[in-house]
Amino acid sequence: MRMPKVELPLNKTQKVRFERAMEMLKSLSSTTNNSVIVADSIPLNHKEAFLKGHGTSLIDGDLLTTVCGVVINVDKLVYVRTLRARYKPEVGDIVVGRVIKVAQSHWKVELNSTQDGVLKLSSINMPDSVQKRMTSVDELNMRNILVEDDVLCAQVGETQRDGSLQLLLARSHKYGKLDKGQLLKVDPYLVKRSNLHFHFIETLGIDLILGRNGFIWVGEHAQAHDPMVVDDENISSKTRQNILRIGNAIRVLSNLGFTVTLEVIMETFYLSNMENIDIHDMLGSEFHVLVTENQAERRRRCA
């Protein structure tokens, strides 16, 4: 459980409800969990000397946290190790990225990391589905495949000598250029490593890709075709509304610091429908409180 990353303009009633739900969530957390949020009090034995470190502040005799993270004790030193806001890549990770540069024989891809990704032209499955030696003509046609701001899904390969990450496209329609949807960004630690990062929400006709790097794709379901060829048909109004509603559900969960999973996303999506919350109003204070209450009740039932 972490404090919201946004300041919510709560009225008096909403504030009481929100704080009650947060207290319930905190009480349901494991007693062995050293995770803290801003303004948490760190238990100390005041009979023993201690040194306050990063992420702590001594106020009126209490050692309070100034950041979200995990409390670490090293001899007498007490500090808070902050949660990573940037993605730390591992080979095999499924990531979603945004093209930031078309270079000679490769594309540079933003990955929400200190390192950019590199997708080589030779890694692309060409339209005829035959891997072949790349030619100068292929290089001249690179912009017909991917350009700046295009979004793609790939797998992390080895780290290059210059520190960049090699990106790989498996022979599957799940990888490659993504279209007819929206790209969202959350803190990478909210997306846990899983055996399943691709989700097809069949009832809505939506594809959901939870990138390990914190980039999440929500878009119209892509049929099995060449991954680098985009269908030009227009997206339906109903599908567009579903994409926007799921996107806002993810934004709210991210704001509240909840782990982003398919189950929690869909629970939040259906909650907004059940409460007749307009898509735009999902980003308002009342829905943030409703989601917090819903998550507290959900975890209470599972406790």
Q: What share of the chain is helix, strand, coil (3-state, %, to 5)?
A: 30, 25, 45
The answer, yes or no, to whether residue 282 has pLDDT greater than 80, is: yes
Q: How confident is the model at residue 198 (pLDDT cuts 50, 70, 90)?
A: very high
pLDDT at 31: 42
Distance separating alpha carbons of residues 74 and 256, to the nearest angstrom: 30
Q: For residues 141 and 139, what is the distance between their CA atoms, to the nearest angstrom?
A: 5
What are 176-195's pLDDT values in tens digits? 999 999 999 999 988 988 88
Tens of pLDDT along 85-103? 688 888 999 999 999 999 9
**DSSP line for 7-20:** -----HHHHHHHHH
Q: Which helix (H) or strand (E) holds 137?
A: helix 136-140
Position 204 scores a pLDDT of 96
Q: Does the pLDDT at position 30 exceed 70?
A: no
Q: Which two tokens stand for residue 70?
A: 């995990």
97, 99, 104, 106: CA torsion to nearest 10: 20
How many angstroms separate the CA atoms of 193 and 263, rounded? Answer: 15
**Whether 221 contacts 206, CB under 8 Å:** yes
Predicted confidence at residue 224, as pLDDT, reads 61
- Mean per-residue pLDDT, 137-143: 80
- 0.85 exceeded by the pTM? no
Q: Is there a contact between 58 and 65 (Cβ–Cβ < 8 Å)?
A: no
Per the DSSP assignment, residues forming a β-bridge with 113 are 87
Angle, in degrees to the nearest 10, between helices 262-274 and 237-256: 110
